[in-house]
């Protein structure tokens, strides 16, 4: 009996001993940085663990034998590895690759790359998708290119994106021939969310990770969206490694700028990350009386309690003090060189004060390796405080009603208003396999609303003084001279003195008490848009199919907060179809069909004086192309061919005395080709090439003179080349040079009146250069723009409102990075 019990004890002891093998190891990324929070699972067993803050894991009491280990974590490709466990403890060293297609929608942790090329996007499919696998054209600019070109505003860098150009020198662009402007929260996005931005001032970018443009309507994902495309600014997000950088820049026109960027973990576990971007500008301009005093404070925090949940909180505070510049006016002959490009129409006491804040909270939770949930909320507030002297969009009138082509009829605006925009976006990302196909499903709902707050109001002084000099009349009628105050020459006396284009020094402090004003109150307005959508990215061998469908609802509350409040509703069913086929390991061919929809009530266009009612704008995009990567994925080359049809766009009606009145034009068609090349030809040699041909014309219109005419500020040809090379070895190591050129062909100005001939805007080609010298952690760079001192115009409405580009200028920058 004793022998039997002893045998059992020895057997049990052996079994227990056999189960006590320990498997341990460490996990790092491709840069040998240790990775905390990585799941380690021994497949086919109940054993599993996660790595600690040092990337270490340990699994005890594992039976001897052969197993498959699975390593997975958010942001990294899942790895399966076979292991053999023996009686001796086993130790492994595992390296994980970053994933380009991880399930998250908003970028909660920062981009670690430090190059011009970007590999993935979130805006095109509501999940991290390799650009090569997206069946739609997206152009982008990263913060590295922004720094190398010493850019500070979005308009400084749009030349690097095919098919994108300036419409004016406001926050006002042309994408594939169609206008995209500030105040349009459906076309100017921040982290994929609707944001109210200034129309008057170009958007600042020292806190921006990259700027990207999705070409054509993106309504299937975002609801009512601009036909030409949507511009998205991606803010810098926290990194899990410590980085600090400082920049001081100074240059032509008394420009001074300074920025700082701090990021890193806030605790040893790296579960709490931060980033703080600061920017300040105090600059003059080549334009008389123009200046910019701006600051930006942009903190961002990421909380990563585990490898399944990520929470991000972003704030961007911007404050700007400047003058509103309405552009260059020329003599009535139309000669663009008849007045200096420096001459503005302002008075010395004009001002524009703007304050904007964006506050965003974003959640990404991964229920499993196949299902994640994404939720974001963003609030935007915009305050405008404006005093300006500006043209009345016409020349001064003489006694007979004729035009005095050396004097501009003037008006004064004093305006205050506040806009608030709220966004909510919720959706699931679901991955699953079905037979031989793989599916990435997005199922979501979003809601956005825009409110013009109570208290908006404007004082306007314009027109000509009445006969008793006790008030003003908006327009001059020479058949009723007795109603007007006349000067010694019999000419009507203006309420606001005319601007003399021939005066040597036309600038002075205006006495605002001398004008007769009319008050216009901006009653509160409200509109909302919401939608439900379903999208499936299906992969079958070399073929990927993207299917999307959205039901969108738009609500405008006319006479908001009054007894006669009336709800106006519209709805649209919006489809999307895209195909991607891998021709080989380097080239993907794609095709896409997208519908677009955009309500156009006076509230939606942020202008209660626009008129209407107007029908919605509808658009249709057909696009085919190819996306490729070369030189071990260091260089990408993409080409697209498209046709974009737009019905019902709004343009200025050109009615005297009603400068904000809009009219609806019939059909416009844009057809073109775009090419983008970006990346590295060799170590330390970066390159960007882009070119676009865009035939954008009116094809149907009540005004037959428009048919066949080129659309406003839409060049048929435009392109850009930029290259930077840095010497990596020898006595000149750290010395670099950058060279570039960009061009745009002839354009036409805006529609100003029926049957009127548009202003012709000349073609131009500009040359830029830069010299860099980096020693240790410090880089000094000198950027020079418009090297040949070319006189050119980035856009224009007419000969009273032309938008000249800057003459030759330079910027010296010192960058210090820790």
- pLDDT confidence bin for 811, thresholds 50/70/90: very high
At residue 798, the pLDDT reads 92
Selection from 270, 274, 275, 264 nearest residue 306 by Cα: 270
Please report the DSSP string for 246-295 in residue order: EEEEEEGGGEEEEEEEEEEESSTTS-EEEEEEEEEEEE--SSTT--EEEE
pLDDT tens, residue by residue, 591-641? 999 998 888 876 666 666 677 678 888 999 999 999 999 988 889 999 999
- pLDDT confidence bin for 69, thresholds 50/70/90: confident
Contact in structure between 412 and 496 (CB atoms under 8 Å): yes
7 has pLDDT over 50: no
pLDDT tens, residue by residue, 487-519? 999 999 999 999 999 998 899 999 999 999 999
At residue 307, the pLDDT reads 83
Query: Higher-confidence residue: 706 or 149?
Result: 149
- 334-342: which pairs have CB atoms within 8 A and are 24 or more residues apart? 334/759, 334/799, 336/762, 336/793, 336/799, 336/802, 337/791, 338/501, 339/501, 341/286, 341/287, 341/791, 341/804, 341/807, 342/286, 342/287, 342/288
Tell me the torsion sign for CA atoms 311, 294, 211, 621: positive
680 has pLDDT over 70: yes
- Which DSSP state fits 371? E
Distance CA 379, CA 390 (A): 32
At residue 14, the pLDDT reads 43
pLDDT tens, residue by residue, 713-736? 999 999 999 999 999 888 999 999
Query: Higher-confidence residue: 557 or 652?
Result: 557
The number of helix segments (H) and strand segments (E) in the chain equals 4, 50
In the sheet with 21-28, reading across from the earlier edge strand, the strands are 56-62, 21-28, 90-95
Mean pLDDT within 792-816: 96
Distance CA 767, CA 18 (A): 74
Mean pLDDT within 430-449: 93
Number of other residues whose CB lies within 10 A of the CB of residue 620? 17
659 has pLDDT over 90: no
- Which DSSP state fits 494? B
- pLDDT confidence bin for 18, thresholds 50/70/90: very low
Contact in structure between 655 and 754 (CB atoms under 8 Å): no
Q: Map tokens 């459906």 to a residue.
A: 186
Mean pLDDT within 436-464: 95
Q: Are strands 90-95 and 21-28 parallel, antiparallel or unpaired?
A: parallel
Contact in structure between 243 and 264 (CB atoms under 8 Å): yes
Distance CA 472, CA 70 (A): 80
At residue 72, the pLDDT reads 75
Neighbouring C-alpha atoms within 13 Å toward the C-beta of 332: 14
Q: Which of 19-28, 211-220, 709-718 tops mean pLDDT?
A: 709-718
What is the percent of the chain with per-residue pLDDT over 90, rounded to a whole number?
67
Q: Are strands 650-652 and 21-28 parallel, antiparallel or unpaired?
A: unpaired
SS3 (DSSP) at 514? helix
Q: Give residue 487's region: left, alpha or beta (phi > 0; psi -120 to 50).
A: beta
- pLDDT confidence bin for 75, thresholds 50/70/90: low
Would you give the distance in Å from CA 507 to the centre of its chain?
36
Helix (H) or strand (E) holding 155: helix 154-157
Range list of β-strands (E), 122-221: 129-130, 138-142, 164-166, 172-175, 178-181, 188-190, 193-194, 208-215
Mean pLDDT within 271-295: 97
Cα distances from 488 to residues 312, 474, 503, 516, 719, in angstroms, run: 69, 21, 21, 21, 55
42 has pLDDT over 60: yes
Contact in structure between 607 and 660 (CB atoms under 8 Å): yes
Distance CA 724, CA 676 (A): 17
At residue 753, the pLDDT reads 60
Give 81's strand partners: 69
Is the omega angle on the peptide bond into residue 613 within 30 degrees of 0, that is, cis? yes
Query: Higher-confidence residue: 670 or 31?
Result: 670
Phi, psi of 230 (to 5 degrees): -120, 135
- pLDDT confidence bin for 17, thresholds 50/70/90: very low
Query: Higher-confidence residue: 223 or 659?
Result: 223
- Compute the mean pLDDT over every residue in the chain, rounded to the nearest whole number: 89
- 556-563: which pairs have CB atoms within 8 A and are 24 or more residues apart? 556/526, 556/527, 556/599, 556/601, 556/603, 556/604, 557/525, 557/526, 557/527, 558/601, 558/603, 559/523, 560/523, 560/524, 560/525, 560/526, 561/454, 561/523, 561/524, 562/523
Number of other residues whose CB lies within 10 A of the CB of residue 659? 17
656 has pLDDT over 70: no
- pLDDT confidence bin for 655, thresholds 50/70/90: low
* Domains present along the chain, CATH in parentheses: 2-95 (2.60.40.10), 234-460+519-817 (2.40.170.20)
At residue 104, the pLDDT reads 42
Distance CA 175, CA 616 (A): 19
Contact in structure between 598 and 227 (CB atoms under 8 Å): yes
pLDDT tens, residue by residue, 517-567? 999 999 999 999 999 999 999 999 999 999 999 999 999 998 899 999 999
Query: Higher-confidence residue: 48 or 528?
Result: 528
Question: pTM for the full model?
Answer: 0.84
578 has pLDDT over 50: yes
Mean pLDDT within 568-576: 91
Cα distances from 814 to residues 246, 364, 656, 738, in angstroms, run: 8, 38, 51, 16
Query: Higher-confidence residue: 769 or 86?
Result: 769
Helix (H) or strand (E) holding 312: strand 309-322
Cα distances from 810 to residues 270, 571, 785, 791, 813, in angstroms, run: 41, 51, 6, 16, 10
SS3 (DSSP) at 150? coil
Q: Map tokens 């911007």 to a residue.
A: 318
At residue 606, the pLDDT reads 63
Query: Higher-confidence residue: 84 or 315?
Result: 315
SS3 (DSSP) at 3? helix
Selection from 529, 537, 550 nearest residue 601 by Cα: 529
Cα distances from 92 to residues 26, 37, 156, 196, 491, in angstroms, run: 6, 17, 50, 52, 93
- pLDDT confidence bin for 16, thresholds 50/70/90: very low
Q: Map tokens 């390799």 to a residue.
A: 130
At residue 106, the pLDDT reads 47
At residue 20, the pLDDT reads 58
At residue 12, the pLDDT reads 39
Cα distances from 737 to residues 152, 772, 786, in angstroms, run: 20, 6, 16
- Which DSSP state fits 341? T
pLDDT tens, residue by residue, 344-395? 999 999 999 999 999 999 999 999 888 999 999 999 999 999 999 999 999 9
Distance CA 55, CA 53 (A): 6
Contact in structure between 389 and 376 (CB atoms under 8 Å): no
Contact in structure between 116 and 140 (CB atoms under 8 Å): no
Mean pLDDT within 409-417: 97
């Amino acid at each position: 009996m004793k022998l039997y019990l002893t045998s059992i004890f020895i057997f049990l002891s052996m079994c227990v001993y056999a189960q006590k093998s320990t498997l341990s190891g460490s996990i790092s990324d491709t840069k040998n940085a240790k990775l905390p929070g990585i799941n380690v699972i021994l497949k086919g067993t109940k054993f599993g663990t996660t790595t600690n803050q040092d990337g270490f894991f340990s699994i005890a009491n594992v039976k001897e034998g052969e197993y498959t280990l699975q390593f997975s974590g958010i942001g990294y490709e899942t790895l399966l590895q076979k292991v053999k466990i023996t009686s001796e403890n086993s130790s492994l060293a595992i390296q994980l690759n970053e994933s380009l297609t991880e399930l998250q929608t908003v970028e909660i942790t920062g981009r670690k790359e430090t190059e011009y090329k970007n590999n993935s996007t979130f805006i095109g499919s509501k999940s991290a998708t390799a650009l090569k696998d997206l069946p739609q054209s997206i152009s982008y600019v990263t913060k590295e290119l922004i720094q190398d070109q010493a850019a500070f505003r979005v308009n400084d860098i749009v030349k690097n994106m095919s098919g994108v150009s300036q419409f004016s020198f406001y926050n006002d662009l042309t994408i594939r021939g169609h206008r995209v402007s500030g105040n349009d929260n459906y076309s100017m996005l921040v982290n994929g969310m609707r944001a109210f931005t200034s129309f008057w001032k170009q958007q600042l970018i020292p806190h921006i990770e990259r700027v990207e443009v999705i070409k054509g309507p993106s309504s299937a994902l975002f609801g009512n969206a601009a036909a030409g495309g949507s511009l998205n600014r991606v803010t810098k997000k926290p990194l899990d490694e410590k980085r600090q950088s400082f920049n001081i820049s100074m240059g032509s026109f008394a420009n001074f700028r300074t920025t700082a960027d701090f990021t890193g973990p806030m605790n040893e576990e790296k579960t709490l990350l931060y980033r703080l971007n600061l920017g300040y500008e105090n600059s003059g301009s080549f334009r008389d009386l123009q200046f910019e005093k701006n600051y930006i404070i942009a903190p961002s925090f990421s909380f990563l309690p585990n490898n399944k949940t990520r929470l991000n909180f972003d704030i961007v505070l911007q404050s700007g003090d400047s003058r509103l510049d309405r552009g260059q006016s020329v003599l009535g002959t139309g000669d663009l060189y008849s007045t200096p490009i420096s001459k503005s129409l302002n008075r010395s006491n004009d001002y524009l004060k703007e304050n904007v804040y964006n506050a965003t909270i974003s959640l990404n939770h991964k229920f499993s390796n196949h299902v994640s949930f994404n939720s974001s909320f963003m609030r935007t507030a915009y305050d405008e405080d404006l005093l300006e002297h500006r043209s009345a969009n016409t020349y001064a009138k003489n006694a007979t009603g004729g035009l005095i082509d050396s004097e501009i009829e003037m008006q004064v605006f004093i305006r205050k208003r506040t806009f608030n925009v709220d966004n909510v976006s919720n959706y699931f990302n679901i991955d699953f396999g079905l037979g031989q196909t793989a599916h990435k499903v997005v199922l979501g709902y979003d809601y956005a609303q825009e409110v013009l707050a109570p208290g908006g109001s404007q004082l306007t002084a314009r027109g000509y003084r009445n006969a008793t000099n006790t008030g003003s009349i908006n327009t001059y009628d020479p058949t009723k001279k007795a109603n007007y105050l006349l000067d010694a020459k019999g000419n009507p006396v203006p309420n606001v003195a005319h601007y003399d284009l021939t005066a040597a020094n036309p600038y002075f402090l205006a006495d605002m008490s001398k004008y007769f004003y009319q008050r216009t109150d901006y009653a509160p307005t409200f509109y909302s848009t919401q939608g439900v959508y379903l999208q499936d990215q299906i992969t079958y061998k070399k073929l990927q199919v993207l299917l999307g469908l959205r039901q969108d609802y738009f609500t405008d509350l006319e006479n908001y907060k009054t007894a006669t409040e009336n709800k106006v509703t519209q709805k649209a069913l919006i489809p999307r179809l895209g195909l991607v086929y891998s021709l080989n390991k380097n080239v993907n061919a794609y095709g896409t069909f997208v519908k677009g929809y955009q309500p156009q009530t006076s509230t939606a266009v942020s202008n209660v004086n626009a008129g209407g009612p107007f029908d919605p704008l509808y658009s249709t995009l057909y696009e085919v192309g190819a996306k490729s990567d070369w030189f071990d994925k260091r260089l990408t080359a993409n080409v697209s061919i498209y046709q974009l049809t737009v019905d019902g766009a709004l343009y200025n009606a050109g009615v005297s005395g009603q400068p904000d009145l809009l009219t609806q034009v019939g059909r416009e068609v844009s057809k073109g080709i775009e090419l983008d090349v970006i990346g590295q030809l060799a170590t330390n040699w970066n390159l960007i090439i882009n070119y676009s041909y865009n035939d954008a014309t009116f094809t149907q219109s009540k005004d037959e003179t428009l048919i066949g005419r080129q659309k406003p500020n839409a060049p048929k040809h435009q392109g850009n080349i930029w290259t930077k090379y840095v010497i990596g070895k020898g006595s000149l190591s750290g010395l670099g040079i950058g060279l570039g050129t960009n061009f745009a062909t002839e354009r036409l100005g805006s529609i100003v009146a029926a049957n009127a001939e548009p202003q012709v805007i000349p073609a131009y080609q500009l040359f830029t250069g830069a010299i860099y010298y980096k020693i240790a952690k410090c880089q000094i760079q000198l950027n020079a723009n418009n090297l040949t001192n070319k006189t050119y115009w980035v856009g224009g409405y007419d000969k009273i409102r032309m938008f000249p580009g800057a003459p030759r200028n330079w910027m010296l920058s010192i960058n210090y990075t820790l």
